[in-house]
């Protein structure tokens, strides 16, 4: 077997066998297959697609490329969630303490942000003292004691994905449904949870731009999970508009805390609604509850303060300082005003995401340093009435804020 046979076959739309897929994944991970041959195969997959069987074998080979986390010493049904990435998506920070407050163990491994999509690990690290690198024993002990631990992915979890993703990122092969499905599901399965709720984002600020694509990705991921013996549910949510009011690491932590504290004036109903849906699904999967019972349970722990108490317990358990959950002043702050009056119809999530990266809240490359306090506050949201000249957003940064960034946020607002 050799790589030329594989990419010739895929180039003509033929199906690869399990052995061929394994050969590629093993060979590329152990450096015996060069980048140029791997990228040729990835491009053929991007253009010709993969069957469900091929996607499953790809996921399986990727899982087998590294360690699989053993969570069997945690009692109960372990639940995880994954978002395919969005702008202002701080849902994990809110739903994980809700579920833990309901007594369900949450064992979650999260990633750093790249490009316009933020990452939970960066948000957590914006809190003074908060540790995201936990030994496996500490991770397990925290879940057993507090019902919640969220940590960065460990060194040898799906090494094949690290290499393949880095190559896809620079060869125009990220936007492939089978490759995304295998990449996400290999990491989720290797992380050891029994059930996974997938939040598939759809719209201008997401990988999937249409409902049809989002549905295909959701179906591909649930099929893989079920074949590997996990309970998986997917929900498709809007990412044409940023979620909530805040975009930026510390700003999003402050917003999550405000929502859990019931200070709705500091956040927005779209975020609350999304968090109730996702946590209700997590509870349905983990506890076998019906939708009505699960949603009522979620609302109860939000209203009685136990989700907030769990959030603070989780921060302290991982070394974080709850008193540091405050918006810090930044060296620069700019008010963005509406060019014209009307009702806000959409706030283009892609443009807002790009502006947040320019302010220092996101990374352009894996090595970029972050400004944890940088970001955007959306004063006006979809459906709000504004007059020309009204402040619609604030930009925060510790670096100079350019006119280009201001224009980007201004032009993201489309009035009806």
**Footprint of ligand URA (CB under 6 A):** 84-85, 165, 174, 179-180, 183-184
The answer to whether 295 and 303 are in contact (CB under 8 A) is no
Q: How far is the CB of 336 from ligand URA (least distance, A)?
A: 29
| Residue at shortest CB range from ligand URA | 183
Q: Which is nearer to ligand URA, 161 or 373 (CB)?
A: 161
In the complex, minimum distance from the CB of residue 174 to ligand URA, in angstroms, rounded to a whole number: 6
Label the pairing between strands 231-238 and 246-247.
unpaired
Least separation in angstroms between residue 157's CB and ligand URA is: 12
End-to-end CA distance of the chain: 59
Q: How far is residue 216's CA from residue 84's CA, in Å, rounded to a whole number?
A: 13
Q: Provide the annotated active-site residues.
A: 82, 161, 168, 183, 187
């Amino acid at each position: 077997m050799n790589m030329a046979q594989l990419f010739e076959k895929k180039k003509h739309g033929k199906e690869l066998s399990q052995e061929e897929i394994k050969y590629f994944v093993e060979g590329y991970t152990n450096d015996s297959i060069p980048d140029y041959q791997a990228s040729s195969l990835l491009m053929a997959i991007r253009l010709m697609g993969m069957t469900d069987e091929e996607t499953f074998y790809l996921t399986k080979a990727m899982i087998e490329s590294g360690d699989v986390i053993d969570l069997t010493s945690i009692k109960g049904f372990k639940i995880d969630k994954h978002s395919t990435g969005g702008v202002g998506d701080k849902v994990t920070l809110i739903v994980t303490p809700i579920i833990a407050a309901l007594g369900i163990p949450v064992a979650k491994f999260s990633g750093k942000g790249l490009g316009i999509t933020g990452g939970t690990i960066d948000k957590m690290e914006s809190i003074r003292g908060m540790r995201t690198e936990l030994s496996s024993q500490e991770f397990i002990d925290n879940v057993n004691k507090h019902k919640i631990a969220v940590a960065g992915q460990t060194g040898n979890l799906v090494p094949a994905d690290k290499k393949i993703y880095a190559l896809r990122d620079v060869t125009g092969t990220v936007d492939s449904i089978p490759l995304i499905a295998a990449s996400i599901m290999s990491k989720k399965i290797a992380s050891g949870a029994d059930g996974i709720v997938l939040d598939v984002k759809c719209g201008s600020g997401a990988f999937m731009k249409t409902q049809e694509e989002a549905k295909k990705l959701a179906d591909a991921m649930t099929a893989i999970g079920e074949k590997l013996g996990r309970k998986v549910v997917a929900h498709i949510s809007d990412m044409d508009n940023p979620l909530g009011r805040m975009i930026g690491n510390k700003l999003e932590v402050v917003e999550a805390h405000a929502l859990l504290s019931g200070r709705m004036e500091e956040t927005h109903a779209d975020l609350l609604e999304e968090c109730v849906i996702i946590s209700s699904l997590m509870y349905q999967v983990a506890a076998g509850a019906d939708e009505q019972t699960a949603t009522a349970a979620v609302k109860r722990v939000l209203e009685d303060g136990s989700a907030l108490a769990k959030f603070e317990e989780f921060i302290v358990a991982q070394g974080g300082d709850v008193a540091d959950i405050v918006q810090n002043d930044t060296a620069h702050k700019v008010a963005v005003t509406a060019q014209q009056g009307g009702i806000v119809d959409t706030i283009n999530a892609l443009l807002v995401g790009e502006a947040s990266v320019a302010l220092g809240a996101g990374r352009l490359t894996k090595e970029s340093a972050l400004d944890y306090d940088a970001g955007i506050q959306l004063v006006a949201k979809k459906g709000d009435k504004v007059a020309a000249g009204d402040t619609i957003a604030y930009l925060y940064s510790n670096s100079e804020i350019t006119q280009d960034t201001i224009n980007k946020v201004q032009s993201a607002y489309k009035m009806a």
